[in-house]
Structure 1
């Protein structure tokens, strides 16, 4: 199984948890949609780091690392910024209608940013040393 497929599987599981949390916070507790999206994303991203590090990117180092966790946190912030921007724009454009569809669109749009930065920055294979 290649890295993109493993990354996709982990990310889909994370997105389900992420969206469930965000949707419940927004519809059940009245949390603003952008904040609910940020909270759901943050909780799911924390779990995803561990799974990506130990399973998704097998060509790179497999042990957990504070340095890579920090890099992943920066990647998560960039991904979150893309996600929240999409959610805010769509929420305004659709006047608050279709919150679940808006959350899904934000997740989909941010997926590719997350994969590229994760693969080439956080979990890149370490160069061979002589």
Structure 2
């Protein structure tokens, strides 16, 4: 199975967790949609890092260096996600929160894969 397929599978599970948390925080806890999106993303990102390190990219044991790089990538990805959500929330009716969250997740997936593959889990980088 290729890295992209493994990354996609982990990310899909992460997005499901992410969106479920975000939607619940918005619908049931009354958090603003942008804050709910950021919260769901942060929780899922932590789980995704561990699985990407050990399975998606098979980069050996967990690494503090890679964890720090992944945190940086997560911040960039989060900025993309929240930006998309904020823009679409202004442009679309309030009846579309799940569609807005999904669009934000799609845009951030692309950024996350490219940065994860070529920055965090780059071939030939140290494994510790």
TM-score by length of structure 2 reads 0.95
In the TM superposition, what is the alpha-carbon distance from 1:108 to its structure 2 partner?
Answer: 0.5
User: For 1:1-130, what aligned pairs fall within 5 Å after superposition?
Assistant: 1-58=1-58, 61-126=59-124
Aligned equivalents of 1:97, 1:89: Cα separation in 2: 15
- DSSP 3-state at the match of 2:26: helix
Aligned equivalents of 2:9, 2:83: Cα separation in 1: 24
Aligned equivalents of 2:99, 2:83: Cα separation in 1: 15
Residue segments in structure 2 that go unaligned for 5+ positions in a row: none
In the TM superposition, what is the alpha-carbon distance from 1:42 to its structure 2 partner?
Answer: 0.1
1:75-114 deviation line (CA, Å, top 9, x unaligned):
0000000000000000000142210010000000110100
Aligned equivalents of 1:95, 1:74: Cα separation in 2: 32
Give me the CA root mean square deviation: 1.2
Aligned equivalents of 1:29, 1:18: Cα separation in 2: 15
1:31-86 deviation line (CA, Å, top 9, x unaligned):
0000000000000000000000000013xx32110010000000000000000000
Aligned equivalents of 2:60, 2:16: Cα separation in 1: 25
Aligned equivalents of 2:125, 2:70: Cα separation in 1: 19
